[in-house]
A = this chain, B = another copy of it.
Amino acid sequence: MNGRRVALVGGATTKFGIRAASWPELVQEAGAALFAAVPGLDSDRVDSLFVGAAEPERFAFQSHVAPLAAEQMGLKPFRILQRTELACASGQSAIRSAYAAIASGLSDVAVCVGVEKMNLPSMAEANTSMACVMDRPWDGAHGATAPPFFAMVAQRHMREYGTTEEMMAAVSEKNHRFANTNPTAQFHEKTFSREKLLRLPWVAPPLRLGDCSSMTDGAAAVVLVAEELAPEFTDTPVWIRGTGQYSDFHNLAHAGSLTEWTGLRRAAQEALRSARLTIDDVDFAELHDCFTISEIIEYEALGLCPAGQGGSFVLDGQADIGGKLVVNPRGGLLGCGHPLGATGIAQAVEVVQQMTHRVPAARQVPRPGVALVHNLSGSANVHSVMVYSREAAA
């Protein structure tokens, strides 16, 4: 990594869920929460705003959302103002853009806000809109929206490796248990046992209701600053150490193996290489558990276990506190819900809160020095990874 070092100095998340709030109201709420969480933040100091939002044009019939968000947050950006879109990874894309802007010297103090309003009067309309995340004429129009696609992935993983529904339920149980400690999570179901999860209705076999993240309303915001300004905002900055992305196909006809996510492997390698760290240095990870099978394959792609062993990995508690690597202590997309544009930002908020020991003991990672954050988008055809650390690069 060249350029100036960039510090993440604070963030906040709205309550995620089915919210009686519009897109602009969610942004306003995230802004208020951000200013409350970062007392040293003066709106006049914010020179740039990056908005992560996947489909406001469809979910809220609103485009040109960057100046709308600026107005709702009381900001008047004078360096950079834009929205970034990368479907389910739109939030992380906003952070990457802010990182590049600050590292290059274009920006000194940047806010990233992610938001999605997905619960509409017509959920049929909302679900139809999700089809345009995939290749619309070739894949989406033929039913390959997220649940059916990831159901195929799960079926294939079960066939190739003997992965079971119980293993998938173990992911869901873990993440919902963590979510119970997170007041902004959508779900606080105290009795989400594996047994109960295995009795929930199918969404797309073998994926049951508890295997799927939900259509969620929510917003989250973080502040990034140039290294020399960090002490003005916090004594405990979190540093962006590495980034990686990879995409090698879009149309499903061009997909390789459904169960071996080489794109994630490449993106993580690049993020860790640029951070000059290895996966063994990582203390916790926020992985994109849009479906339980996703998290299982992600363990494998990150090299936490051999190919095909992701199910056993979680069943053995290796992704839990006390295991090899704590995964999704925030509660994940499964427990927190998945407002597309907000997710990547909310993961970064968790990184800050973990590293500053401000989360309840039940989900506090013991030595939260290095975190890896992952988002996939579409049919897992794009993988985006960031590496954060309490220690700045040498």
The reply to whether the CB of A204 lies closer than 8 angstroms to some CB of chain B is no
CA–CA, A70 to B78, complex, Å?
31
The reply to whether the CB of A364 lies closer than 8 angstroms to some CB of chain B is no
Q: In the complex, what residues of B have CB within 8 A of residue A1's CB?
A: 105-106
Chain A interface helix/strand/loop/mixed: mixed
Binary contact readout A48-73 vs B (1 if CB under 8 angstroms, 0 otherwise): 00000011011011111111101100
Binary contact readout A1-17 vs B (1 if CB under 8 angstroms, 0 otherwise): 11110000000000000
Q: Once the chains bind, are A97 and B82 in contact (CB under 8 Å)? A: yes
The reply to whether the CB of A84 lies closer than 8 angstroms to some CB of chain B is yes
Cβ 8 A contact of A2, one of B3, B76, B251, B378: B3
Binary contact readout A131-173 vs B (1 if CB under 8 angstroms, 0 otherwise): 1111111000000000000000000000000000000000000
CA–CA, A381 to B77, complex, Å?
12
The reply to whether the CB of A100 lies closer than 8 angstroms to some CB of chain B is yes
Q: Once the chains bind, are B97 and A106 in contact (CB under 8 Å)? A: no
The reply to whether the CB of A275 lies closer than 8 angstroms to some CB of chain B is no
Q: In the complex, what residues of B have CB within 8 A of residue A43's CB?
A: none
The reply to whether the CB of A93 lies closer than 8 angstroms to some CB of chain B is yes
Binary contact readout A96-114 vs B (1 if CB under 8 angstroms, 0 otherwise): 1101110111100000000
CA–CA, A4 to B76, complex, Å?
27
Q: In the complex, what residues of B have CB within 8 A of residue A328's CB?
A: none
Find the B residue at minimum CB distance from A51: B85
The reply to whether the CB of A362 lies closer than 8 angstroms to some CB of chain B is no
Q: In the complex, what residues of B have CB within 8 A of residue A86's CB?
A: 64, 66, 81-83
Q: In the complex, what residues of B have CB within 8 A of residue A134's CB?
A: 64
The reply to whether the CB of A283 lies closer than 8 angstroms to some CB of chain B is no
Q: In the complex, what residues of B have CB within 8 A of residue A202's CB?
A: none
Cβ 8 A contact of A79, one of B61, B93, B270: B270
Q: Output the least CB separation between A218 and chain B (Å).
A: 18
The reply to whether the CB of A246 lies closer than 8 angstroms to some CB of chain B is yes
Q: In the complex, what residues of B have CB within 8 A of residue A358's CB?
A: none
Known contacts being A105-B103, A133-B63, A245-B80, is A4 close to B4, with CB within 8 Å?
no
| A→B interface (CB under 8 Å) | 1-4, 22, 54-55, 57-58, 60-68, 70-71, 76-87, 93, 96-97, 99-101, 103-106, 129, 131-137, 243-251, 254, 266, 270, 377-378, 381-382
